[in-house]
A and B are shown apart, each in its own frame.
Chain A
Amino acid sequence: MKKYYIIFPALFLAFVWSALTTNATAQNIVENDEPDFTLPPIKLGIEDLRKVINILPPKDANLNLLNNKFNLGHPDKNSTHGTNENFRLSQVRVQKIILKLENHIRNMMTNLPLMPFHHTLGISGYEVYFNHPDELFYSLSIAIPFLPEDLVQSVKKYLEQQADVLPPYSINGYDNKSGKPRESYDVPMNLRVQGRGKAIDTFGVYSFWIWCYFTDNTNAAKLHWNTIKDRMRSLLSSEYKFNISKTDYSHDEAEHLNGDLAGLIGYIRLARVNNDEVAITNAEAKAVELLNLRVNLERVNPKIVNHTSATKSLHVYKLARYCRLVPEIAVALKMYDGGCAAKRISAYRSIRNGWYMAFGDRFIGGENYTNPLHFGRALFCSTALIENLSSDTLASFVDVPHCIGDLYFIEKCVLVLRSFAE
């Protein structure tokens, strides 16, 4: 009789695993591709939010790496966890990624100012990346702990200048046609997308905070405070429209939700620096609202692939809810989503071997020759921050940059180094 107690749960687990891993894939547009794993929504409160906000990124992560204190993470099937030889291999991997990061940023700094990146997809037309300072400030700031001192100084100096010219919380971004080309291929100017970048949400406030945080720049946090309050007014005073059950979003709404939640987290931290209790109270209420939306989106809605658009809207899709995924939101998901995100990401990723390659095979959307950059970014960030793979495995997903000044490449390197260090 006892045997059945073992067999039935095992069968059930096998069934769940099978459902997660053998999900059907759609045809020319790879859209309906998610396991139907859901949980009922939960109600989170102010204390739940504060737990998330109080977790700060490590400033001295590099010290652990320098002292060879590696966290190899969960020993998954690809991990080399456990032996001296494998520890040595991890050291080699860490050094390689530190070097990749340093070389990439050094090359970027010597080529400034850079033009936004033009990416041709195929049937979906063109995309432009890196045309707003929010991602620039975010990626360079989080890299600071892992850079050599001379490069830290030049990055700090550059960001300080940029904060005066075009701070990351600005609405406007960079001109799509100004600066040195990022691409290795020639892009005729008439094919480049016209206009300037625009902030799509308040992520830039988070970027501003993280710049202040990693550069210990409380002066800037105070100097810009009133402008930032103006910038956040609209978000704080209006109703946030987002339906967690909707499956046909097509304007990156889930990405904006991440961006705005991150923006609120940054805002609350800046308000703390400025001792602005009223701002904290207002923002916390809004942040709890968005936190509930984000966590419950994951719990109740399995549709992780959403339609989006490039210059054309044909055949272009996005893992929108994993774009602009800062560590704090990932922590919230890990704490409150009942494991939904981790399962979905694992299932989605594991049937797409090679997903992380720059300009790799098209794994999302339709008749394009390669993936949009946001695909690899979203999958990498969610894998690194939610899935709990070993650091070694994560390191194997760091490929090569798409271009000079590939801000997502910087982010990937940093996430792996943090994973080794934390």
Chain B
Amino acid sequence: MKPNFIQLFLMFLILFSAKPVVAQQNNWTTYRGDLQRTAFYTSFPSKPLKLLWRQEFWKELTGPRAEVIVADGLAFIGTYGGNFYALDSNTGQIKWVFKTGGPICHTAAYNNGVVFTGSMDGCLYALFAGSGRLKWLFEAEEGIGVAPTVCRGNVMFGDRAGNFFSVDESNGRLKWKFKTGDRILTTAAVTEDEEFVIFASEDMHLYCMKIEDGSLIWKSRKLQGLSVRDYSPVIFSGLVFITTNPVKDFHTILGEHEQMLIKRTGFVGKDPRYIAGTPEDIQKEQDFIIEFLKNNPSEQTFYTFRIRDGKEPWIAPILYTGGLHNPLTPPCVNKKTGEVFVHIRSAYGTWDGGGEVRSYTGFGKLDIQTGRVTLIDPAYPSKEPGRPPGAKDRPWMTFNYIGDETQTLSCSPQLLICNHQGFIGALDLKTLLTERLYGKRDTYGGFYGPGNFGWENQGGIQKAKAVGQPFGIVNEWHGPARSIASVAANKVYYNVGSQVLCLEEQ
């Protein structure tokens, strides 16, 4: 039977009008995978992963927040040495290098055969991806340390003087400019309808601008904390999420919150590492945390705003969990299921398997209607002798959840993935089992560091020297793992330890 006109029309609508939620991921063209910065992989290569190639940049350094951009068979990354590299995405060979006049701190962006990168020399460069030839450059007032956002013919980015620019993608001419009160160190995100761009400034406000003309739609209340640096707002379902780091030093705040959560449970036993809690207990804990954040606004580091009016629909029961005093990891969104994953602290069911370094750090799913979080509990019974009855554990060094170390979340339909301190770990969302996908803790992807050479008192420095490798990377202790891995054509591109690793399925 031939389809009639109406059926053909409906098929046409389905194919071309509705945007597929999950598309084939052959390229990785922008920071965190899409303009909403959801950190979602349509699919993630199956474990175990093996190293296909590796390119070292430790003599120049790469930004620990930078991701590898992949398109047209090339993998792009810039260095603090000011060089912007195009590598063959299959072999890692350098295809071309473009020299800028200052450090390249963040991720590039790719669109229509052109790759865009900012530099601390104050210029945004548009380069022909195939050749590295300059198409145009735009001179900002100060250095650029964010990833460009390319949308609807605009290239948008902030500079360190606090200006937010939109320039014409085709010729680099300024379309509009907006001045904020301090440096812009945060990459912008674009709303799902591509009408608005949202970015944060170090004046600690979030700004929503109309992409078309640069008019200010709203400016958030002042966020608390020191900084919104490095990450970006994350947009999903009419909401925007942004994270900060607290003014209170992170060991103090983590320790205080830990004790506060234990005390609230009324626990009087000797070993608080496992405290049984019913769903009602968890609900009450979250009520308590929300009340605490309302009464102690300077300790709020996770914010949600409605895109339509810049108001906060609720305060999420999320306490600070960032490591090395970074802003805490932003949420990631499973675009297939609509789940929003967050880092969370709770006295119930989550504890630290690494020697109780700031315990009660775990993961949860944020309900965007209510702002409440459902804890994700790992499925391993504890094997450690003396562990309290009922306690669950996660094998060490599989999937990080240490409260005082940097980790950044991403997800695929099946996995919650964590980049932490030189390795990629995953939590299977069906089995709740955790597994290390690649690398090893303290090894910068398996190649440097004490996890590879041994600690200083084990001759690690000398061993590294003997093989002409760095022992540590000067800007990357404990990761700092502020980026996620990029996935394109079923390969993983991992910026770690100032090197790019390309991983594939075995």
Contacts and interface: CB of A to CB of B under 8 A. Distances in A.
Contact of B250 (A22, A122, A187): A122
Given A120-B325, A366-B477, A367-B477, A186 B247 contact: yes
A402 to B, nearest CB: 10
B464 interface: yes
Nearest to A353: B80
B247 A188 contact: yes
Interface string A113-125: 0000010111111
A187 B297 CA distance: 11
A312 B59 CA distance: 32
Given A24-B464, A369-B245, A120 B472 contact: no
A185 interface: yes
A191 B161 CA distance: 28
A27 B456 contact: yes
Contact of A354 (B80, B181, B185): B80
B60 A353 contact: yes
Given A353-B81, A358-B183, A399-B143, A185 B249 contact: no
Contacts of A188: 247-248, 298
Nearest to B181: A184
B475 A362 contact: yes
Contact of A359 (B204, B224, B229): B229
A367 B80 contact: no
B477 A30 contact: yes
B472 A25 contact: yes
Contact of B470 (A24, A124, A354): A24
Contact of A186 (B160, B224, B462): B224
A184 B162 CA distance: 12
A335 interface: no
Contact of B251 (A25, A123, A126, A396): A123
Contacts of B226: 120, 185
B120 A27 contact: no
B391 interface: no
Interface string A17-34: 000001011111010110
A146 interface: no
A369 B185 CA distance: 14
Contacts of A22: 465, 468
A166 to B, nearest CB: 28
Interface stretch (B97-105, B287-295, B307-315, B430-438): B97-105
Contacts of B474: 25, 30, 33, 351-352, 363
Contacts of B82: 353
Q: How large is the interface on B (under 10, 10 to 19, 20 to 34, 35 or more residues)?
A: 35 or more
A123 B325 contact: yes
B326 interface: yes
Contacts of A24: 461-462, 464-465, 470-471
Given A26-B461, A125-B249, A369 B477 contact: no
A121 B325 contact: yes
Q: Which of B59, B185, B477 has the most CB of A within 10 A?
A: B477
Contact of B102 (A33, A363, A396): A396
B317 interface: no
A276 interface: no
Contacts of B229: 359
B84 to A, nearest CB: 14
B70 interface: no
A120 B320 CA distance: 15
B324 A367 contact: yes
B225 interface: yes
Contacts of B252: 125
Contacts of A123: 249-251, 324-325, 404
B61 A122 contact: no
Contacts of B404: 123, 367
Contacts of B63: 361
A124 B325 CA distance: 10
Nearest to B103: A354
A143 B155 CA distance: 38
B346 interface: no
Given A120-B226, A184-B203, A396-B101, A27 B249 contact: no
B471 A369 contact: no
Given A354-B80, A357-B145, A27 B160 contact: no
B250 A185 contact: no
Q: Which of B81, B250, B473 has the most CB of A within 10 A?
A: B250
A399 B160 contact: yes
Nearest to B80: A353
B21 to A, nearest CB: 35
B364 interface: no
A36 to B, nearest CB: 13
A382 interface: no
B445 interface: no
Interface string B333-358: 00000000000000000000000000
B412 interface: no
A400 interface: yes
A368 interface: yes
Contacts of B161: 400
Nearest to A80: B101
B227 interface: yes
A359 B227 contact: yes
Contacts of A32: 461
A367 to B, nearest CB: 5
Interface in A25-49: 25-28, 30, 32-33
A404 to B, nearest CB: 10
A353 B142 contact: no
A184 B80 CA distance: 26
B81 A27 contact: no
Given A27-B450, A188-B247, A362-B324, 5 more contacts: A27-B471, A28-B477, A30-B477, A122-B324, A399-B142
Interface of A: 22, 24-28, 30, 32-33, 78, 118, 120-126, 184-188, 191, 311-312, 351-354, 357-359, 361-363, 366-369, 396, 399-400
